[in-house]
């Protein structure tokens, strides 16, 4: 304590005690000024204020109490004023305090101790000053902090509060005192608060716990900072809680999240948030072994709307579609409810006119289809856009976890593929993706690549199926049928690669190869004394090729008379382009080639155009022959076809004859030619000659 700087004004009308006091205090290192009475004391203090005043209580005119009161009134309560009382009684001590004295010293004075006593008084005076400054600072700090501050005990009772923004609270914070957080706050908030309290109890502090409260002003978010207040050993700990209003920060965070996770136009979640959620759902599905479906929706012809009505209308359409989708996943009626928790269904706009829907926890795959149809129906209802009616449709692809993909990305991709599949099938459509769809696509791609090389690599060969001429009971003709000996997949039947070759145009060179090979084979049979007619299948596409006639005549010029060649065409080929087709058929007939209509009865079977075609023969499709003898319809159809063909002057071949009985019936119906496994399967050319000597007797009919 820097006592040498401290000056004490001693006021006493008694000269001896004045001097003794001076001596004792100066000895203890204080500077001392002396006043002879009250009035002198006041005057001196006013002229030269000091650090402490010691007043004798009893002085003439103005006594110590009066001086004390006057000084207090003048300088406030900071100046230490010590009263020296002669009377060691409670009354005078009380009066001293009432007058504003800081302390008192009773007479008789122990002069050897008085210095220490005054030093002690000064120390506590300084401590008090420090405390006061600290308090003032703390109060200022508290006032600068906008947070609500509470003090809680370990059970969560409010002990104290500081609430500069008590306008946030429903009532005065005082009413909290003595009650617990669970009584004051709603359960969620109280839970957070108590958990922060436990953490602070354990670690000394807790930060970051948040909760929201419904206040009269609206929803407010708060964040807690809590610290354990150090207390004396054995005392129960208490906790200081700062509760900060973070509503604005939350709102900013929310806005940022919306920008990152939501589509600005429709307000739906965007691709990022959809994929993130889908990933979580896939994990959940994996963990709980439940199903999950993803619907991928694309508006049909949306580009048209943008192009013709403008982008503003386009945007409006997308908003309306989003609204309908929201409706679609939350139906009002119970009838169309799915067997899943529909509140879990997730909706998103991926971009453009693409939307996605996810169905978590799905047990029945059909639910996805039900929802897809429900959405399709909703989209189909006309949209009224600023007085203009717009009708839209959507194509929807469905992928199901885990069959169609085991990750979010994979599911989205397969749903997308399925959507394209739906579009391919004529739009306004829903399609499941099935794993076999990709497998098929891959195989097809592979097959197509190999098909291009097959001719070069000489992988095709022909087999021939004999046709029995019923009049002679002998094989008089054969049908050439193509085979593909694939290097890895082995023998591939024509039904698997002919449609593909028709799609990519390869059928033209392949067909020409068949024609050339079959004719060359027929020429060889002729040369070896076996006059056989060979039937070659022609694809519609070959028919459309203007080169067909040239190619046929060119091939025949290689050494086969035209009447030994029969070209099999299907109804499809004839329907497409009637005039050109008719011209080609006539030209071929004129060239002397035989023409037959294959698979008759399976296509349009339009009798009227049959009359206009220059055909020699029709081949009754094997599906009718298969029905014989038991199926009455088949019998009636075959009978009708045969009689019609006869009337038109065509001869009739029946395909797919597998039993003697079928052969007999067809014979009785006056078919001229029979073809089928009963006589022979398609065989290599080398096996044909052995069959030619055989005379077929259909017992009882011949
Ligand atoms: P298609 O012209 O109707 O040929 C008859 C098909 O029936 C052949 O099948 C033949 O093996 C089969 N068949 C014959 N008798 C029977 C029988 O008794 N029972 C059963 N169940 N089937 C019988 P394949 O060889 O598999 O040919 C299928 C189709 O592929 C042909 O039907 C034809 O449309 C097409 N095709 C075959 N070769 C060629 C070709 O070189 N060019 C073109 N464009 N198409 C061809
Ligand atoms: Mg055929
Ligand atoms: Mg056929």
Domain range annotation of the chain: 3-141, 145-251, 264-452, 455-692
Q: What is the pLDDT of residue 405?
A: 92
Can you tell me which residue has the tokens 């019936």?
A: 665
| Residue 269 DSSP one-character state | B
Pick from 430, 302, 321, 273: which is nearest to 366 by CA?
430
Q: What is the pLDDT of residue 584?
A: 87
Q: What is the pLDDT of residue 3?
A: 45
Q: Note the CATH number of domain 145-251.
A: 3.30.450.20
Q: What is the pLDDT of residue 90?
A: 78
Please tell us whether the domain made up of 455-692 is placed in CATH 3.90.226.10: no
Residue 649 to residues 103, 154, 604, 612, 614, Cα–Cα distance (Å): 145, 109, 20, 12, 10
Query: Is the minimum distance from the CB of 505 to ligand 1 under 6 angstroms?
Result: no
Structure tokens at 693: 């000597």
Reduced DSSP (H G I as helix, E B as strand, rest coil) percent helix, strand, coil of the chain, to 5: 45, 25, 30
Whether the upstream peptide bond of residue 581 has omega within 30° of 0, thus cis, is no
Rg, C-alpha atoms of the chain: 54
Output the CA 636–ligand 2 centroid distance in Å: 23
Is 635 exposed, middle or buried (CB count within 10 Å of its CB: 0-12, 13-18, 19+)?
middle
For atom 42 of ligand 1, which residue has the closest CA?
537
Q: How far apart, in whole angstroms, are the C-alpha atoms of residue 179 and residue 155?
A: 10
Q: Top-level CATH class of 3-141?
A: alpha beta
Output the CA 576–ligand 1 centroid distance in Å: 22
598 and 498 in contact (C-beta within 8 Å)? no
User: pLDDT (tens digit, 9 = 90+) per residue, 645-687?
Assistant: 888 889 999 999 999 999 999 999 999 999 999 999 999 999 9
pTM as predicted:
0.49
Q: What is the pLDDT of residue 22?
A: 93
Q: How far apart, in whole angstroms, are the C-alpha atoms of residue 181 and residue 191?
A: 9
Q: How far apart, in whole angstroms, are the C-alpha atoms of residue 682 and residue 676?
A: 9
674 and 466 in contact (C-beta within 8 Å)? no
Closest atom of ligand 1 to 539 CA is 44
Q: What is the pLDDT of residue 88?
A: 64
pLDDT beneath 50, residues of the chain: 3, 333-335, 700-702
213 and 118 in contact (C-beta within 8 Å)? no
Same fold, 145-251 and 264-452: no
For atom 17 of ligand 1, which residue has the closest CA?
656
Query: Is the minimum distance from the CB of 566 to ligand 1 under 6 angstroms?
Result: no
Q: Where are the alpha helices (DSSP H) in 591-699?
A: 607-610, 622-626, 632-648, 660-668, 685-692
Please tell us whether the domain made up of 264-452 is placed in CATH 3.30.70.270: yes
Tell me the best of 481, 626, 674 to mutate to test the pocket of ligand 1, counting ligand atoms within 8 Å of each CB and taking the most: 481
Q: What is the pLDDT of residue 77?
A: 79
Q: What is the pLDDT of residue 218?
A: 87
Pick from 416, 451, 413, 421: which is nearest to 437 by CA?
421
Q: What is the pLDDT of residue 701?
A: 44
């Amino acid at each position: 304590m820097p006592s040498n700087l401290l000056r004490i004004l001693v006021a006493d009308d008694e000269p001896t005690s004045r001097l003794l006091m001076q001596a004792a205090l100066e000895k203890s290192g204080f500077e001392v000024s002396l006043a002879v009475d009250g009035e002198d004391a006041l005057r001196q203090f006013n002229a030269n204020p000091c650090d402490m005043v010691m007043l004798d209580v009893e002085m003439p005119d103005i006594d110590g109490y009066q001086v004390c009161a006057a000084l207090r009134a003048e300088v406030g309560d900071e100046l230490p004023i010590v009263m020296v009382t002669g009377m060691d009684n409670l009354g005078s001590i009380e009066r001293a305090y009432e007058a504003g004295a800081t302390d008192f010293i009773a007479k008789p004075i122990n002069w050897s101790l008085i210095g220490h006593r005054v030093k002690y008084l000064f120390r506590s005076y300084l401590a008090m000053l420090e405390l006061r400054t600290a308090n003032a600072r703390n109060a200022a700090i508290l006032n600068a902090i906008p947070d609500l501050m509470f003090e809680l005990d370990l059970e969560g009772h409010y002990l104290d509060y500081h609430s500069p923004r008590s306008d946030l609270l429903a009532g005065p914070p005082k009413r909290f005192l003595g009650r617990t957080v669970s009584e004051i706050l709603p359960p969620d908030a109280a839970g957070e608060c108590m958990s922060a309290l436990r953490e602070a109890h354990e670690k000394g502090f807790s930060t970051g716990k948040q909760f929201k409260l419904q206040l009269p002003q609206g929803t407010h978010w708060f964040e807690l900072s809590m610290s354990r207040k150090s207390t004396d050993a054995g005392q129960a700990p208490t906790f200081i809680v700062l509760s900060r209003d973070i509503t604005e920060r939350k709102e900013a965070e929310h806005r940022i999240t919306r920008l990152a996770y939501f589509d600005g136009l429709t307000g739906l979640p965007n691709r990022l948030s959809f994929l993130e959620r889908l990933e979580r759902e896939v994990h959940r599905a994996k963990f709980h072994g439940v199903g999950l479906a993803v619907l991928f929706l694309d508006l049909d012809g949306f580009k048209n709307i943008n192009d013709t009505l403008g982008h503003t209308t386009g945007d409006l359409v997308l908003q309306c579609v989003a609204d309908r989708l929201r409706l679609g996943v939350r139906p009002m009626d119970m009838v169309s409810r799915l067997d899943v928790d529909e509140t879990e269904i997730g909706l998103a706009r991926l971009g453009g006119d693409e939307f996605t829907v996810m169905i978590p926890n799905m047990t029945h795959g059909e639910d996805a289809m039900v929802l897809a149809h429900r959405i399709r129906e909703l989209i189909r209802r006309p949209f009224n856009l600023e007085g203009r009616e717009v009708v839209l449709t959507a194509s929807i692809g469905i992928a199901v976890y885990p069959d169609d993909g085991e990750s979010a990305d994979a599911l989205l991709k397969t749903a997308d593929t399925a959507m394209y599949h739906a579009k391919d099938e004529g739009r306004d459509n829903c399609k499941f993706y099935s794993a076999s769809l990709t497998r098929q696509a891959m195989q097809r791609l592979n097959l197509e690549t190999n098909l291009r090389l097959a001719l070069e690599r000489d992988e095709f060969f022909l087999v021939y199926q004999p046709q029995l001429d019923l009049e002679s009971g002998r094989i008089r003709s054969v049908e050439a049928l193509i085979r593909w000996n694939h290097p890895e997949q082995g023998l591939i039947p024509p039904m698997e690669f002919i449609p593909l070759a028709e799609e990519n145009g390869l059928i033209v060179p392949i067909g020409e190869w068949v024609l050339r090979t079959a004719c060359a084979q027929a020429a060889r049979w002729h040369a070896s004394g076996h006059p056989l007619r060979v039937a070659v299948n022609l694809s519609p596409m070959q028919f459309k090729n203007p080169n067909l006639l040239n190619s046929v005549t060119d091939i025949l010029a290689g050494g086969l008379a035209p009447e030994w060649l029969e070209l099999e065409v299907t109804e499809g080929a004839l329907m497409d382009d009637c005039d050109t087709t008719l011209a080609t058929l006539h030209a071929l007939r004129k060239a002397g080639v035989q023409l037959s209509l294959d698979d008759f009865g399976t296509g349009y079977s339009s009798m009227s155009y049959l009359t206009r075609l220059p055909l020699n023969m029709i081949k009754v499709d094997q599906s009718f022959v298969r029905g014989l003898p038991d199926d009455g319809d088949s019998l009636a159809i075959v009978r009708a076809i045969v009689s019609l063909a006869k009337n038109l002057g065509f001869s009739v071949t029946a395909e797919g004859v597998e039993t003697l009985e079928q052969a007999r019936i067809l014979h009785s119906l006056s078919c001229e030619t029979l073809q089928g496994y009963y006589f022979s399967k398609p065989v290599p050319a080398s096996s044909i000659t052995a069959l030619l000597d055989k005379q077929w007797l259909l017992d009882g009919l011949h």
